[in-house]
Amino acid sequence: MMELLVVLAILGLLAGLAISNVGNIFGDAQGAAAKLFVKESMKTSLFSYRMSMGDYPSTADGLQALVTAPGNKGASWRGPYIDGGKVPLDPWNEPYQYAYPGSKNKSGYDLWSKGPDKQSGTADDIGNWDDATSGSPK
């Protein structure tokens, strides 16, 4: 009987560890997805827009300019530049943030997710400026 209790206790501990690790894996996957989106996935769309329009979308036009022609600039717009007809949300169901010209990427644009806390300007933001090896988008 005592052996059975020890086995059950060990199984309970293992189950607890497995459950907590699944939560970490899911959280890491969300962060990795956001990082991939801001650093790589949008480069082609934004570059294509820049080639058609002569510059990146303004902060005011935002990423929506990749889906619908901004105001009076429709003549040279060749979009939509994003498949699916809408700008995707980040893994926390929040809109990605965009600024051009960038304050972190002086020669390009800033693109970021507000991260799990859903607050812009905090330590968990995931941006296209996060690591020095990526350089600024051009």
Triad 8, 16, 14: Cα angle to 5°: 50
pLDDT at position 2 is 60
pLDDT at position 96 is 95
Sign of CA dihedral 97, 41, 79, 107: positive
- Residue 69: name the closest of 79, 59, 60 by CA: 79
pLDDT at position 28 is 77
What is the chain's length?
138
Q: What is the mean pLDDT of each run of 10 residues along the chain (138 residues)?
A: 62 60 61 89 92 93 92 81 90 95 91 93 88 43
pTM for the structure as a whole: 0.72
Are 17 and 108 within 8 A, CB to CB? no
pLDDT at position 83 is 86
pLDDT at position 138 is 40
Domains of the chain: 7-127 (3.30.700.10)
